[in-house]
Chain A
Amino acid sequence: MSKLRSIIIYLILIVFGFTMVIPFIWMISTSLMTQSEFNKQESLFIPKEEYHLWDNGEKRERVILVLEKEDTCIVHVLDSDLAIVEEYKEVPSSQVQLIRKKPSFEFSNYIKAFKKVPFGLYFYNTIYVSVLSLIGVLITSLLAAYAFARMEFRGRDFFFYLFLSMMMVPQPIYLISSYVLLDKLHWLDTYNALIIPWTANIFTIFLFRQHFKALPKELFDAASIDGCSIFGMLWRIVIPLSKPVISTASIFSLITSWNSFMWPLVMINRPELRVLQVGLSYFNQEASTQTSLLMASSTFSIVPVLILFFFAQKQIIASYAKTGMKD
């Protein structure tokens, strides 16, 4: 391949790579700006700050400059929360100076966002729901996949196609009837509604089945001769040999439940049971003008998944790549 061609390829990839990450960069940089700075729209990415300081020898106060005359200025005096405490004060020009800070990171946005919205609670709910669903998914899938892959029984094909056809039906189709069903069960507004329906995952069953079928038959024969029970085989042979596929399924399951939105939005009304995504969407409605706080909350809502992604990047991408391949 010629050098020029490869330079062009890299250039295209870099330019479009930037379009992929710019929303994230902008999200983080906006989350570190003060609201007034964001509104001024002077710098796009690097938070900087400009303000006037009134220093009369005794105390230093931040002020808003209203009018500048020859040797006096009219200012609004601000307190530490940047609220106006004194309006139209006349002070000598020599005592007012312009302060430029660049970059200036407003990390307190994160603390403010945390104080405004109970994100700690939302994190707890999300982790609780994700982990319990994951445990359920692993148990039901290991058992069902083992039955499908290594056991002969009447109706196996029937159940297989039943599961397969259920997998094809997307969530919006059964969302309303699920709501009615959970209402009849009195599970609306409980953790049950968020966890129990998601403790079986058909895709994971098929993923495990595929893997279990590929395990050598001799292993099972040998174990069977040694008097190993079925549970013993599952526990001592299948699971140790399936660690990669189990971790793949776990990552899928965790990312999916962490990001799931429509289901918890509909099933949960009580604020104390809100998961992170739903909490964030409510904050989006309430705080549409508080851009930097909204961006701070968005940032820390995706940080856990991004951390997981950075550490297990190769494996996650390889796992998703496999979803497109058919056997």
Chain B
Amino acid sequence: MKTKWKITPYLFLLPALIIIVAFRLIPIVMSFILSFFDWSLQGTGKFIGLTNYATMIKDPVFWQSMGNTFWLVVILVPATIVLSLFFAVLLNKIKYFKSMFRMVYFMPFVTSLVAVSIVWKLMFNEQTGLINTFLGYVGIAPQAWLAEYRGIFVLMFPQLESLPRFFHGPSQALFAIIIMTVWKGLGYNTIIYLAGLQNISKTYYEAAEVDGAGKLRQFWNITVPLISPTTFYVLIMTTITSFQTFSQVYLMTNKGGPLNTTKLIVYYIYERGFDLLEMGYASAVALALFIIILMLTIFQRKMEKHVNY
């Protein structure tokens, strides 16, 4: 019996293994190797050691892209957590039309990023867009949105103008992309939270009710701590996916403009790799991104034990 089974497991594993080794493992290793070469498609490339990394550290556009990505993550992730927890708590409370609301909130998540990016680009149009029309109804002047390079903090508080560029915050153009991206992912995270909420035993709330704790107290002292494993999952997953934002920049902006203020790190990789054909250099940047994501993943694994109640 045992001997007969020996080769079979490997045969079963083989098809998946071939694909994963050929199209995941090898490219990942290759991307490491490419980063040490001056590599464009035409030439075979020559070994240049750490030159690509040195160029990267000296390139202001690289740092600007990193800064933009930082702002995206720092705004997008908390906004996603707060809003999706909020909607999940509300959805968890209602009796009727629950599945209809869930469907409505989830719809943006299943539709293609390309189509919704196009729609949002037109919605953010200064003259003909829906957003400015709605803002007009509540008496707010039309905003330039995707054409505005100034930071949102400066737009709100002009006296911040004298600070270094980074502290001006994300440009309004990037902020528009952030709004759209929150909208796109909200449904998924709401559903994740909803699943988490359903796992919290009702007895906690009943006990709190007996002790006379109000709804808000119950939320802070029962829901928030007991949902924290889910919050942690949403936090890490949203952070990792935000670092990979690409399509919105490609479709909604003109090459990461205005003035590179919407250029996110993956778009920067794409531009250097496929527009300028500096594949070695682009691989070096990809590797830098890889290290960030790897650290986040390791952090998640390490912390996972601590956040579970």
Contacts and interface: CB of A to CB of B under 8 A. Distances in A.
Interface of A: 1, 6, 9-10, 12-13, 16-17, 19-24, 26-27, 30, 38-39, 41, 44, 136, 139-141, 143-144, 146-148, 151-153, 156, 159, 162-163, 166, 168-181, 183, 196-197, 199-200, 202, 205, 230, 255, 258-259, 261-262, 265-266, 277, 280-281, 284, 291, 294-295, 298-299, 301-302, 305-306, 309-310, 313-314, 316-317, 320-326
B17 A159 contact: yes
A143 B114 contact: no
B105 interface: yes
A200 B133 contact: no
A44 B133 CA distance: 9
Given A13-B94, A321-B195, A173 B274 contact: no
Nearest to A266: B274
A262 B103 contact: no
Please report whether the interface of chain B is mostly helix, strand, loop or mixed according to DSSP. Answer: helix
A174 B24 contact: yes
B168 to A, nearest CB: 27
A313 B191 CA distance: 13
B279 interface: yes
Contacts, number: 265
B61 interface: no
Given A143-B13, A179-B279, 4 more contacts: A144-B16, A171-B244, A177-B26, A180-B41
A153 B10 CA distance: 8
B137 to A, nearest CB: 10
A321 B24 contact: no
A180 B102 contact: no
A140 B13 CA distance: 8
Contacts of B15: 139-140, 143-144, 200
Interface of B: 5-6, 8-10, 12-13, 15-17, 19-20, 22-28, 30-31, 34, 39, 41, 87, 90-91, 93-94, 99, 101-116, 118-123, 127-128, 130, 133, 183, 186-188, 191-192, 194-196, 230, 233-234, 237, 240, 243-244, 246-247, 250-251, 266, 269-270, 273-274, 279, 282-283, 286-287, 289-290, 293-294, 297
B26 A181 contact: yes
Nearest to B281: A176
Contacts of B113: 259, 261
Given A24-B107, A280-B118, A9 B19 contact: no
Residue picked from A19, A146, A299, A317, most chain B C-beta under 10 Å: A317
A168 B296 CA distance: 11
Contacts of A21: 104, 107
Residue picked from A166, A255, A298, most chain B C-beta under 10 Å: A298
B34 A261 contact: no
Given A143-B15, A144-B15, A179-B279, A314 B30 contact: no
Contact of B103 (A13, A265, A295, A313): A313
A74 B97 CA distance: 57
A20 B188 CA distance: 13
Contacts of B115: 27, 280, 298-299, 301-302
A180 B29 CA distance: 12
A13 B282 CA distance: 44
B99 A294 contact: no
A26 B247 contact: no
A305 B110 contact: yes
A179 B105 CA distance: 36
A180 B251 contact: no
Contacts of A305: 110-112
Given A30-B122, A174-B31, A196-B23, A262 B105 contact: no
**Closest 5 A/B residue pairs (Cβ):** A200-B19, A324-B192, A147-B12, A197-B23, A144-B16
B210 to A, nearest CB: 17
A262 B12 contact: no
Residue picked from B28, B121, B194, B234, most chain A C-beta under 10 Å: B28
Given A140-B15, A159-B17, A26 B108 contact: no
A281 B31 contact: no
Contact of A13 (B28, B101, B128): B101
A169 B41 CA distance: 24
Given A175-B269, A309-B107, A143 B16 contact: yes
B279 A27 contact: no
Contact of B112 (A30, A202, A258, A324): A258
A118 B193 CA distance: 41
Contacts of A146: 12
A324 B127 CA distance: 41
A205 to B, nearest CB: 6
Contacts of A294: 118, 122
A319 B96 CA distance: 22
A177 B119 contact: no
A208 to B, nearest CB: 11
B4 to A, nearest CB: 9
B90 A12 contact: yes
A26 B16 CA distance: 43
